Structure 1
Amino acid sequence: MNYKSPLLGSLLAALLLTSCEDHRIPAVETIQVTPFASGLAGPIGLEKDAAGNIWVAEAGSGQNDGKITMLTPDGKAHPVITGFDSEIIMGGELNGLNHILFADGVLYILGAHSRLYKANVASFKPGDAPLLAKDLPVEDMKQFILDYKFAQDTEDTHLYNMTLGPNGDLYLTDAGANAIIRRTKAGVWSVFAVIPGIKNPTPVGPPTVESVPTGIVFDGQKFLVSTLLGFPFPTGSALIYQMDQAGAVSVYQGGFTSLVDINLTTDPGVLVVQHGVFGAQGFAPNTGQIRRVASNGSSVAVDNLNLPTDLIQADAHTYYVSGLTGTVMKVKY
């Protein structure tokens, strides 16, 4: 049985139907959170370019309408690539685009069914006709991962997020298989590490709760991986794991709730995104947070966010955070 439940599956597959990168946000500063863009269809992943534009992976509405959108600094949305798979699957979940990453001069895109797309968008300008997803090079890794003999096999795969690691290789979180997948620069795929579950701290659900990997970063020495626990989504029990370059996994810090993203900072520590607190009706509105993680624990940097999904830094004092309500908010201090 898959104890991630339809609600968790919706988040990881793209969008709950019931319903950032690099500099520290100082606790002593006044933080302003203002609307930047709205009307987006299930924004999951954010990325930035050198010109100050924010790129968004929109999961869509289930009508094969997933797309990559560029948000110019004035907040206007410009479709760049359209026609990605976006479908309603078993349990009423929506399966579509996930996260994106600029690397090697191309845009890497994680799509439905554990597909990795590559797009050359260097020449795109607002107003240009969008590219079509069907014309992009794609690596379909679903069967490779499903065929792998995991010790605790979920019989599922869902490539969700990615980062660059040593030698320019891609390291990807698989929120279905609960594993970290490696793709070398030469295009060779392998299973790098498995993320262990935790003992269920509640009387409800299975004895072991899946530690679903979401965000991943590489700090030059080790990887850090954020997790969103499976059913019953216990509060305060999610972990940040660390991995060495050989794939050995250990706990970095605990005490978190439903983490969906992790970001490096210039000071010691990281920023993480809490999607929300799970209650009787699913993830409660306005319980999302950006949390600052240091060696002595974590603290709230931004509170009362509504189902946030990703965080990206634009400059030394500006971040953008996406939410499943179809918005991107600007966080400035």
Structure 2
Amino acid sequence: MKKIASLTAILSICIILGIVACNDKKDDPIPEPEEFTVTNFADQLRAPIGFTLDNNNRLWVTEAGTGQNDGSIVMITPEGVKTTVATGFPSVVSNGSIEGMSHPLYKDGKLYVLHGISGMLYTADVSSFQPGNTPLNLNTFQKEDIGTYVRSQNLTNPLNSNIFDLLFGADGHLYIADAGANALIRRDKSNGALSVFARIPDLATGVEAVPTGVVFDGERFLVSVLGGFPFTPGNAKIFQISTSGTVSEYKGGFTNLSHLTLSKNNKPIVLQLGNFGAGFEASTGRVLNEDGDVLLSGLTMPTDIVRSADREFYLLSYAQGTIKKLKY
């Protein structure tokens, strides 16, 4: 009987230890990426600038178009089915690149789209929009003039505004990164009033910051910057901005950052647009962690990245018109 009792006790302990081990394994933290595997997801996009994920893992992509006032928004399902949501946004060719559309943001059935060269924030209810639907009439989008307000604040000399990226903060206000005015603009959640929340300092004398992306990690805003001409290697930074608007450097030593996102652990993952020579050189774009370690290289002008699962990201290339899926 004693042997049976002992055996029973041992088995009970093993079962308990097994349960604890399973629970420990379940609660293991997600590691940071060290490198990515890459698969193709979408192509033949027309100078895509940015994208945003909705609650159904559908991507809403802004396309600059061809420079003939044909900027568009395209929705792509997880299966890769593309549907044009709206088209006819202003677009122009400037200095050899196609400009107009900036980054989009999806929240609670609404799509918020920045248009850099006109300074407009477009908003539309897309909660009922489905794959295969007829494109929405551009006139049904609500328009708000952000650029005129920004220029009125005399933030740069000469005056400039290029509203480029946006997110909702934990306080419910909308924050807009302006790549021309080197500032973070706040749009009040209650009445839409605009204010200058923070100004991003120059990287060096005569070298503007040019903010290209903004995220919130639960404690602070993190802003990636491209850096102005001559686009010196190692000159770009990630800035941090407190919830009260205080700006300081978070990490430095980067080159021409075009955007950023957060890992599962709220660590920044950043994009290097590329090295600058006769323009931004092909195959010199990269995905980097916050310490500058290379997670993926050989890219051509990546301009957006978004995390779609714990270990999965989507990556967009403006120059190649593609979206790739990254996993680790």
- TM-score when normalising by structure 1: 0.85
Counterpart residue identity of residue 164, structure 2: Y
> How far is 1:165 from its partner?
1.1
Instruction: Please give the secondary structure, in 1, of the residue aligned with 2:274.
Output: coil
Tell whether 2:282 aligns with 1:285.
yes
Aligned to 1:121: 126
Query: Could you say which structure has the larger radius of gyration?
Result: 2
Aligned to 2:321: 326
Alignment of 1:184-333 (within 5 A): 184-186=188-190, 187-199=192-204, 207-267=205-265, 269-279=267-277, 281-293=278-290, 297-324=291-318, 325-333=320-328
> How far is 1:25 from its partner?
4.9
Identity of paired residues, percent?
A: 43
Deviations 1:36-67 (A, max 9, x none): 11111111111111222111111111111111
> How far is 1:249 from its partner?
0.8
Aligned to 1:178: 182
Separation in structure 2 between the aligned mates of residue 24 and residue 74 of structure 1, nearest angstrom? 27
> How far is 1:267 from its partner?
2.3
Deviations 1:188-227 (A, max 9, x none): 111111111122xxxxxxx421111110011222111000
Aligned to 1:95: 99
- List gaps (5 residues or longer) in structure 2: 1-29
- Runs (4+) off by over 4 Å: none
Counterpart residue identity of residue 47, structure 2: G
Instruction: Please give the secondary structure, in 2, of the residue aligned with 1:163.
Output: strand
Aligned to 1:204: none
Contact 2:263 2:310 in 1 (8 A): no
Counterpart residue identity of residue 289, structure 1: R
Aligned to 1:39: 44
Number of residue equivalences: 296
Aligned to 1:140: 145
Contact 2:69 2:89 in 1 (8 A): yes
Aligned to 2:15: none
Contact 2:47 2:98 in 1 (8 A): no
Separation in structure 2 between the aligned mates of residue 239 and residue 181 of structure 1, nearest angstrom? 19
- List gaps (5 residues or longer) in structure 1: 1-22, 200-206
Counterpart residue identity of residue 124, structure 2: A
Aligned to 2:20: none
Separation in structure 2 between the aligned mates of residue 87 and residue 133 of structure 1, nearest angstrom? 18
Contact 1:260 1:310 in 2 (8 A): yes
Separation in structure 2 between the aligned mates of residue 312 and residue 127 of structure 1, nearest angstrom? 24
> How far is 1:317 from its partner?
2.6
Separation in structure 1 between the aligned mates of residue 96 and residue 268 of structure 2, nearest angstrom? 34
Separation in structure 2 between the aligned mates of residue 116 and residue 64 of structure 1, nearest angstrom? 17
Aligned to 1:17: none
Counterpart residue identity of residue 296, structure 2: V
Alignment of 1:151-162 (within 5 A): 152-162=156-166
Instruction: Please give the secondary structure, in 2, of the residue aligned with 1:198.
Output: coil
Counterpart residue identity of residue 285, structure 1: A
